[in-house]
Amino acid sequence: MNHQAVAAQGPPLLEVANLATHFRVGTRAVPAVRNVTFEIRRGEMVGLVGESGCGKSVTALSILRLLPDAPACVVEGSVRLDGADILQMTRQELLDIRGRRIAMVFQDPFSSLNPTMTLGAQIMEAIRIHTGASHREARQRAISLLRSVRIPDPEQCLRRYPHEVSGGQRQRVMIAMAFACQPDLILADEPTTALDVTVQAQVLALMTELRRETGTAILLITHDLGVVAETCDRVLVMYAGSVVEEAPVDELFRNPRHPYTRGLLASLPSLRGSRIRRLPSIPGQPPILTDQPSGCAFAERCSEVMPECRHAEPGRAVFADGTAVRCHLYRREGQGSSSDTG
């Protein structure tokens, strides 16, 4: 593992507490995300992993309030940025932090960029809105940003439209735009999934380098544990809308506690050993949103399921090494939970 950790000290930059997002389906409120609690410190890179549909993107969109407003969607809990609750901010306060303090990089840069504007106009617009820079200053900053994301001939790139550059270059432009105002935090939602493996490695290396230079914290949403191992300081594992395990990356790979995390790690290919073996997979499917079981959402797939798992949702057990797990195999938070009872 290659941990390029930036010392993450001081009070949390972002504190998410008991975040819940429900979508209205007919007369019902269907929980897409629930009980999500975590912190991100300045300069930290935190991975958010889990299967498709587990709530990773909804979590990120809820943090920046980018989901359609009630009644389509209801967000509860709190999301504090340096102590100020984003969920309670006025529209103007919200607009002020988007891009300037928290930026977002989406999976598909083509649909995030405006096809009718040149790349230069889009980068410069972001810089001018959030920093008040003049046209000339914004242009200089845009050129310097494109240079820092290794775009060859940045001046020519500024004159191009999104369809005139490659997918890898579009994603680099999105990353340049995200870093344009030197935000405190970037929410990167599968930023390399649409790219081929070589370009993916380059883009991840670039984000890691920019993070080190700027001190920007990154929440990296991915389904790829290999990417997390290479780039992140801590990891949050999501399942069926909840964070079921949170741990420093080294600790998670050395000592995964939640049965779902263990299943995920067991299904990773290994270069150790010479025998060819079939990779184990986790049997079954995650529950569908409209039909969530009572008790633990993983119970139907868990090899360690116990009777209480089917009745009561597991609480959050916290360990001295910084790990937190939601599983009945461990004691609940606040009940002498600083030791490993598993």
Residues lying near ligand SF4 in the complex (CB under 6 A): 259, 296, 298-299, 302, 304-306, 309, 314, 327-329
What's the closest the beta carbon of residue 303 comes to ligand SF4, in angstroms? 8
Q: How far is the CB of 341 from ligand SF4 (least distance, A)?
A: 12
Q: How far is the CB of 304 from ligand SF4 (least distance, A)?
A: 4
Q: Which is nearer to ligand SF4, 36 or 299 (CB)?
A: 299
Q: Taking the complex as a whole, how short is the minimal distance between the CB of residue 298 and ligand SF4, in angstroms? A: 4
Whichever of 16 and 296 has its CB closer to ligand SF4, that residue is 296
Q: Which is nearer to ligand SF4, 127 or 327 (CB)?
A: 327
Query: Distance (Å, rounded) from C-alpha 214 to C-alpha 181?
Result: 11
Helix H or strand E segment including 128? helix 119-131
Cβ neighbours, 10 Å, residue 261: 24
The percent helix, strand, coil of the chain (3-state, each to 5) is 35, 20, 45
Considering the complex, state which of residue 183 and residue 314 has its C-beta at the smaller distance from ligand SF4: 314
* Residue 38 or 298 having the CB closest to ligand SF4: 298
Name which of 11 and 334 has its Cβ closer to ligand SF4.
334
Tokens of 235: 């990891």
Q: Minimum distance between the CB of residue 297 and ligand SF4, rounded to whole angstroms?
A: 8
Shortest distance, CB of residue 243 to ligand SF4, whole angstroms?
A: 13
**Nearest C-alpha neighbor of 316 from the set 255, 241, 245, 239:** 245
Amino acid of residue 286: P
| Helix, coil or strand: residue 318 | strand
Residue 18: φ, ψ to 5°: 50, 40
Phi and psi, residue 217, nearest 5°: -80, 150
Look up tokens 């890898």; give the residue: 168
